[in-house]
Structure 1
Amino acid sequence: MHLSHALTHRGTIREINEDAFLELPYLGVWVVADGMGGHAAGDVASQTVIDGIQQSLEQVEPNEITIELLKSSLQNSNRILQQMSETEFEGKVAGSTVVVLWLDNDQYHMLWVGDSRVYRFREQQLTQLSKDHSQVNDMVDEGLLAPEEAETHPLANVITRAVGVDVHLDIDYRSDKVNEGDIFLLCSDGLNKELNDNEIQRIIQSENIIDSGLALLHASLVRNARDNVTCILVKHTHKVSSLSEECDKTIPVFV
């Protein structure tokens, strides 16, 4: 059984919200997309990615969902956005990052392009499962930059992959076992720009996904949320319960 809670906000500076998300707990699928390209292009790009995945899933039975289906949807959205860039946006880039989580029985599968992230909270520890496709992350890998310097580096906003940018779309994939009580966090980079991993972990430690989601969003907003912020919290459990039955616990909010 999967419980989930999704939130999005344009932030305190941006005029529009270029993020989009998909929440389909009955299929075990969740998606966050973060558009790029400014007004019209950015929000259209992220919604195109979301719509493409949803339409692909609507055409098959739940037991027919595969990684190949999800990848094919992203490849198709890549082609559509490249076409739109030429025909509707006068060559202006209409691109989007994307992160997809699919929970199938006791396995998780994730696909991603760009710097939107998936975290897993297990046994009171937060782990980033995705790896940012960004200029600063490449510099960290090459030993040119310390990990703690990445978020504040002048090139922190430069991503190296996005849906709709290149003819060839390189999609990363990861799969592993899910444990009882695992909590997954999908988010656009607007969240981790404002909160570091330790702060995110402390908020999620309550294991109440509704209160944690609200606290994550509130904490980013009180720090002036320079970017759009989207987060989805997903809890994997075999217990028969509902979101309303989640226990209330005190949750820290960072200011």
Structure 2
Amino acid sequence: MKENSISQLKEKAPNLVGVIVKWRAITHQGLMRSQNEDAHWVAHSVEVKTETESTSRYLFAVADGLGGHRGGAIASRMALKSVKDEFHTWHGGEADRLVGRALQQANQNVFSKAQLDPELFHKMQTTLTVVALDQDSLTIGHVGDCRLYRVRDGRIGLLTRDHTMANDLLTLHLISTEQASQHPGRHQLTRSVGGEPFMNADIIRERPLPGDIYLLCSDGLWSELTEEEILVTIHENDISSACEKMVRFALRGGAPDNITAIMFRIEAIGPQAAPRFSWKRILGRQ
């Protein structure tokens, strides 16, 4: 290829605007379950807007199914299909509407399926937490007891609220934090996808910063680890190694439930996030 041709292609190459992320996802059946009723999905899309600009966006989702040997696995995968269908129609912006529609459609689909054969799909439900990253915003859609943690400036915070009996009692100040951690209703859901014909979902918005690390996980992971243990593990420089190490720690704790973890770090945000286009790099001539 001639040098002037390379220069022309370089000029036409669109600059990436949005967010750059490093991520790792792991799921494990656990040590006591006969199948994995967890499901997860990660999607990244780059859409060319003009000859000089393209946008980058991500979506992360975890669902933890319940309701019998077959029902839980079907519910979690049906919920994620609803998320995928909505994501494929998304062209950026209004992320709260995207995740809201995805959760409501998932609820309708799972509930309708359970009504077709109540004996086979008795109490078929799932939790579902969706995280949409677009430009410089992060939007969370949440139902159930999967969790999204954020580590920023060396501190860990929980961004979602468990929809469980124990946590509802804690919110009403009827029990203490210590009592909630041992309460028999710790994993008894008060909200789920597919449990009722109409569902109330939490929609949470926040502004991510470069260097932020997020952990999206099912209760099979967080119930085996303290926040301090999660924080120590997340401080690993390599996201992939940190995610693997966290799952290993949960397995050592006995892992009576399925385990799913998605960890991602915000590398950069905005138009300055795009690496400079280089045909030398593409052609292996760094």
TM-score (norm 2): 0.80
Deviation at residue 61 of structure 1 after TM alignment: 4.8
Alpha-carbon separation, structure 2, partners of 1:226 and 1:179: 35
User: 2:147 — aligned with what?
Assistant: 117
1:40-59 equivalence runs, <5 A: 40-58=70-88
User: 1:146 — aligned with what?
Assistant: 176
User: 2:251 — aligned with what?
Assistant: 221
Deviation at residue 192 of structure 1 after TM alignment: 1.1
Deviation at residue 108 of structure 1 after TM alignment: 1.0
User: 1:252 — aligned with what?
Assistant: none
Query: Structure 1 residues 207 and 160 mapped into 2: Cα distance closer, same or farther (>3 Å)?
Result: farther
Q: Deviations over 1:209-228 (max 9, x none)?
A: 10110011000001110111
User: 2:201 — aligned with what?
Assistant: 171
Whether the 8 Å CA contact 2:145–2:187 is kept in 1: the answer is no
Question: Which is worse superposed, 85-94 or 18-27?
Answer: 85-94
Which of 92, 105, 117 is 1:88 aligned to? 117
Answering whether residue 29 of structure 2 is matched by residue 10 of structure 1, we say yes
Question: Which is worse superposed, 87-96 or 15-24?
Answer: 87-96
How many pairs align? 240
Alpha-carbon separation, structure 1, partners of 2:42 and 2:250: 21
User: 1:180 — aligned with what?
Assistant: 210
Alpha-carbon separation, structure 2, partners of 1:229 and 1:164: 21
Give 3-state SS (helix, strand or coil) of 2:36's partner: coil
Query: Structure 1 residues 25 and 150 mapped into 2: Cα distance closer, same or farther (>3 Å)?
Result: farther
User: Which amino acid is the alignment partner of residue 8 of structure 1?
Assistant: T
Q: Deviations over 1:51-87 (max 9, x none)?
A: 11112212x2532663212211221221111111121
Whether the 8 Å CA contact 1:186–1:231 is kept in 2: the answer is yes
User: 1:191 — aligned with what?
Assistant: 221
1:11-26 equivalence runs, <5 A: 11-26=30-45
Answering whether residue 237 of structure 2 is matched by residue 237 of structure 1, we say no
Whether the 8 Å CA contact 1:4–1:25 is kept in 2: the answer is no
Deviation at residue 208 of structure 1 after TM alignment: 2.1
Give 3-state SS (helix, strand or coil) of 1:170's partner: coil
Query: Structure 1 residues 61 and 143 mapped into 2: Cα distance closer, same or farther (>3 Å)?
Result: closer
User: 2:96 — aligned with what?
Assistant: 67
Decide which structure has the larger Cα Rg and report it.
2
Which of 185, 191, 199 is 1:155 aligned to? 185
Alpha-carbon separation, structure 2, partners of 1:151 and 1:20: 25
Query: Structure 1 residues 65 and 57 mapped into 2: Cα distance closer, same or farther (>3 Å)?
Result: farther
User: Which amino acid is the alignment partner of residue 136 of structure 2?
Assistant: D
Question: Which is worse superposed, 224-233 or 200-209?
Answer: 200-209
Alpha-carbon separation, structure 2, partners of 1:240 and 1:219: 35
Runs of 4+ in 1 over 4 A off after TM superposition: none
Answering whether residue 67 of structure 2 is matched by residue 37 of structure 1, we say yes
Unpaired stretches in structure 2, ≥5 consecutive residues: 1-19, 46-56, 276-286
User: 2:127 — aligned with what?
Assistant: 97
Alpha-carbon separation, structure 2, partners of 1:80 and 1:107: 28
TM-score (norm 1): 0.89
Give 3-state SS (helix, strand or coil) of 2:76's partner: helix
User: Which amino acid is the alignment partner of residue 107 of structure 1?
Assistant: S
Compute the RMSD of aligned alpha carbons. 1.6
Alpha-carbon separation, structure 1, partners of 2:90 and 2:218: 29
Alpha-carbon separation, structure 2, partners of 1:219 and 1:9: 12
